[in-house]
Amino acid sequence: MRGELETQPQRTPILRRGVAGLVLIAVAALAIHFVIGLIMTVFWLVVAAAAVVAVLWAINNVF
């Protein structure tokens, strides 16, 4: 047998783990919000471009 005591790894306190979980959730929510905003921006740019093309096509067909 060994004469020295083996140290047990200390567990992270529950409050610290809870705060870490909340930070991860907040960062995930911000990332999702950013990605959705980026997708919406691209969508509206495509809609605007399609509207310009439609107006130019209509003007070309009227005159």
User: pLDDT-based confidence at 63, cuts 50/70/90?
Assistant: confident
pLDDT of residue 5: 63
Per residue in 14-26, pLDDT (tens digit) is 999 999 999 999 9
Task: Tell whether the model's pLDDT for residue 36 goes beyond 70.
Answer: yes
Please state, in angstroms and rounded to a whole number, the distance separating the CA atoms of residues 36 and 10.
40
Domain boundaries, the chain: 14-63
Please state, in angstroms and rounded to a whole number, the distance separating the CA atoms of residues 38 and 32.
10
pLDDT of residue 45: 98
Please state, in angstroms and rounded to a whole number, the distance separating the CA atoms of residues 4 and 7.
9
User: pLDDT-based confidence at 59, cuts 50/70/90?
Assistant: very high
CA torsion angle for 8, 14, 17, 23 (degrees, to 10)? -160
What letter does residue 21 receive in the DSSP assignment? H
pLDDT of residue 23: 98
List the alpha helices (DSSP H) in 1-63.
14-62
